[in-house]
Amino acid sequence: MGIINKLSDELVSKIAAGEVIERPASIVKELMENAIDAGATTINIELKNGGIDLIRIEDNGQGMLSEDARLAVQRHTTSKLHTENELYDISTLGFRGEALYSIGVISELEIVTRHKHEDTGTIIHVRGGEVVNTSKTAHDTGTTVTVSNLFFNTPVRKKFLGSAQSEYRACLDVIDRFVFGYKNAGIRVINNGKEVFTIQPAPLEARTILRIDQGLKNKLYDVSFDNGILKVDGYISDPDYTTNSSRLMYLFVNGRYIMDKSLNFSITNAYSTALPKGRYPVAVINLFLPHNFVDVNINPTKTAVKFADKSMVYDAIRNAIRDSINKRAIVYASPDPGMDKNRFKEEVKEAVESYRTSFPHGSTTSTGYATSKKTRIFSTPYGAKPGVSMNAAADDQQTILQTGEFSALDILAQFNATYIVASSPDSMVLIDQHAMHERILFEQLLKNSQVRQRQSQFLTVPQEIFLNENRTSILADIQDALRTIGYELTTGRNSVTVRAIPAGTVFSPLSLIELIDNSMRADGPSHTELTADQKTDPLYRIMADVACKSAVRAGDFLPVEKIRALFGQLDQLGIPLNCPHGRPFVFLLPKTEIEKFFHRR
């Protein structure tokens, strides 16, 4: 008997739904695309427990005729395609005819809609892919879609959902794409009965400031390019305002949010040497080109596209950004060429002042750590490097082992303002100054977290920092951990005020924002070398990031007195010879190996 089976229609439907609907954020994306395609200028989003328990999206678009609403919940039904040729000239966000059907297969779905040409609305109930009820109802022009009991018939998939806060943040990330992509649409978000934010139609610059960071005021550069076929516009941040990941780089093609690593590289490449290694700008870039120049039918989530001439797109983005950076000034480009520049600036100001936001609250319990044991600094050879014999390294460490302290080393030089060159009677020692200081600060934070009287340094002037609700949600999760290591802060309606920071560390508003962004990302760029246990421990990651941001940098000149002071701290702490992210900071080159290289031995 053969082993090939034909899948049932029910199983095929669930598999297909899984390609489109991965989590609540996927539903938010599909329904907001439908609202935009329907011409909505107002979209209200209501979530319960981050969309796990309920998602309701209401729009004032044109709505659906009663007969269309009945067809819309069936598979592969759409108003956006009629012939095969139209597949290569798509002007709408949706077109596959899968969204409503796929949502209905794995949830309880209610659609209430009224077309502007009908007097009454239509209400449809779907459960597990089956229409259970259809009737007439009163409703304003537009559509309201309610999704509940998500994954009720696929419990295995529900088990893989994140926490309510995690799913909530994912929904906000999706919503922000529409905030940036459709500046003329008013958007209101409610979570667990509380208003999160309301943003009215406003210039893209204002929306970028409001949703990313109010510290971007006066730090955004206008980007503009038009060759008659391809138009590029948007904003990028000043080279002085950067982050440590590319997550704040938004790319849109004809209003559609896309993810494209090569085009992201075109953005960073345009900054050239103005962008420090490992840093990324804030960017909101819109591309407009004929629809038949781009293929959006690549994958079910529609976040990948193919261009007829990608090199043209790449060069246009890079050159437009490069020109903007070279001007070194913001140019306020009005949507209406006749609009007075001062009036445009006033619109931005009014949009910022009218922005309303509220924040959820929460807390976490800090994690305890075992105290590090004091060990001799050079008790383990660090000679296991290419060209250096481990046995030779061990043999020639005897003098260092007899003293066992960094303070006993002779400081010879600072190489490339990054590495400290020192010597013992039998070895030359290279030390990465940043990684060394990072480890020292980490150990101090660790000890600070284990005592009742935490050592903090008060800021001369308390710093108030604007946080969008996504970051405020994360801060609510980690604020206890921050207080554990010495921060003193209070959260307001749309901000956090920092009054004190851990002793020995440094502070800037941007560093706190990056700390918040990184704290929930175990796979973040600064955590790649952490162990599995360390990655899952928020307090460890926070302490490691604070230490990293406060340590001396590569390129910093260090006086001999400063180096001696750091060596003394190393001796007192007796710590491992690697930074908290796992990188070693000591390289030992024994005298015997040097002599062998020069054929003296």
CB 200 within 8 A of CB 188: no
For residue 417, what are the contacts with CB-CB under 8 A and spacing of at least 6? 554, 555, 556, 557, 558
One-letter amino acid of 113: T
* Both structure tokens of 335: 């949507």
What pLDDT does 3 receive? 62
Query: Three-class SS of residue 3?
Result: coil
pTM score > 0.85 for this model?
Answer: no
User: Of 127, 333, 92, whose CA–CA distance to 225 is shortest?
Assistant: 333
Distance CA 544, CA 553 (A): 15
* Both structure tokens of 179: 């905030």
Sheet-wide strand order for 410-415? 410-415, 419-424, 427-432, 586-590
For the chain, the first-to-last Cα distance in angstroms comes to 76
Distance CA 266, CA 250 (A): 13
Q: Residue 548 class from Cβ within 10 Å (0-12 exposed, 13-18 middle, 19+ buried)?
A: buried
DSSP 422: E
What pLDDT does 26 receive? 92
CB 577 within 8 A of CB 586: yes
Q: Residue 214 class from Cβ within 10 Å (0-12 exposed, 13-18 middle, 19+ buried)?
A: middle
CB 518 within 8 A of CB 548: no
Residue given tokens 């006749």 in the structure block? 338
CB 280 within 8 A of CB 270: no
State which residues of the chain have pLDDT below 50.
329-337, 356-404, 522-523, 525, 527
Distance CA 402, CA 408 (A): 10
What pLDDT does 374 receive? 36
Q: Which DSSP string do the residues of 153-211 spell out, in sequence order?
A: T-HHHHHT---HHHHHHHHHHHHHHHHHH-TTSEEEEEETTEEEEEE-S--HHHHHHHH
What pLDDT does 85 receive? 64
Q: What is the 3-state secondary structure (H, E, C) of 7-43?
A: CCHHHHHHHHHHHHCCCHHHHHHHHHHHHHHCCCCEE
428-to-397, 525, 564 alpha-carbon distances in Å: 10, 32, 17
Q: What is the pLDDT of residues 125-145, one digit of tens each?
A: 999 989 999 999 999 999 999
Distance CA 588, CA 428 (A): 6
Phi, psi of 294 (to 5 degrees): -140, 135
Query: Hey, what domains does the chain have and what are their CATH numbers?
Result: 9-199 (3.30.565.10), 204-357 (3.30.230.10), 361-601 (3.30.1540.20)
